């Protein structure tokens, strides 16, 4: 997605060879118009798949997921990372190790909001080693619902999350695919391909 790639090049900050900071438009401050375009793009890519629900994880997955939900006209459920005092229903849980925070969270979703009749699109902001997405897949599968696809805003293709998910037979749609973050620079997969063709 060209617009997203341009935004990443312009405003993304490469922290090191493994981590990209996008606090100015996705992870802290949010760019609503970009989020809207992201939602539209997910809706276009999964159009005709009969999605009935979007499942994401707090907090940075929520903005792109809500925008996708708006364009697809389906509800959005976000997994919580901390048990809430008000969330007392039957919970489905999974353990997720966070790559950037170096901690494991027990994530949870109420059984009330996903059921066996659902066709679920999982959305997250980043895909690195696939832990968060796999945790969400685990939770959705506990309900008997179908995981119809996984939508990722920024995939770091040099880490193995995408491979792991595809090896499980899951369809992954990533709007930006980063080939490397070396020398303080973002290089997208399509730039690598263009370089190769030249």
* Residues engaged in binding ligand 5GP (CB under 6 A): 19-22, 27, 60, 98-100, 124-133, 156, 161
- Closest approach of ligand 5GP to the CB of residue 178, in Å: 8
Least distance (Å) from ligand 5GP to the CB of residue 22?
6
Nearer to ligand 5GP by Cβ, of 34 and 52: the residue is 34
Q: How far is the CB of 3 from ligand 5GP (least distance, A)?
A: 19
Q: Which is nearer to ligand 5GP, 1 or 165 (CB)?
A: 165
Nearer to ligand 5GP, 52 or 60 (CB): 60
Give the chain as a 3 state SS string.
Answer: CHHHHHHHHHHCEECCCCCEECHHHHHCCCCHHHHHHHHHHHHHHCCCCCCCEEEEECCCCHHHHHHHHHHHCCCEEEEECCCCCCCCCCEEEEEEEECCCCEEEEEEEEHHHCCCCCEEEEEEEEECCCHHHHHHHHHHHHHCCEEEEEEEEEEECCCCHHHHHHHCCCCEEEEEEEEECHHHCCEEHHHHHHHHHC
Choice between 69 and 161, CB closer to ligand 5GP = 161
Min separation Cβ 96 and ligand 5GP, Å: 7
């Amino acid at each position: 997605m060209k617009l997203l790639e341009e935004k990443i090049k312009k405003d993304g900050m490469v922290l090191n060879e493994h981590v990209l900071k996008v606090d100015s438009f996705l992870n802290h401050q949010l760019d609503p118009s970009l989020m809207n375009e992201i939602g539209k793009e997910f809706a276009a890519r999964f159009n005709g798949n009969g999605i009935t629900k979007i499942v994401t994880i707090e907090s940075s997955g929520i903005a792109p997921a809500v925008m996708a939900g708006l364009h697809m006209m389906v509800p959005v459920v976000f997994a919580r990372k901390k048990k809430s005092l008000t969330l007392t229903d039957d919970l489905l849980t999974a353990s997720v190790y966070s790559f950037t925070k170096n901690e494991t969270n027990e994530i949870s979703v109420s059984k009330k909001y996903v059921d066996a009749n659902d066709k679920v699109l999982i959305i997250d902001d980043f895909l690195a080693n696939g832990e968060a997405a796999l945790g969400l897949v685990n939770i959705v599968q506990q309900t008997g619902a179908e995981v119809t696809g996984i939508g990722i805003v920024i995939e770091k293709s040099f880490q193995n999350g995408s491979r792991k998910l595809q090896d499980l037979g899951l369809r992954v749609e990533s709007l930006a695919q980063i080939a490397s973050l070396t020398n303080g620079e973002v290089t997208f997969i399509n730039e690598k391909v263009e370089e190769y063709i030249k």
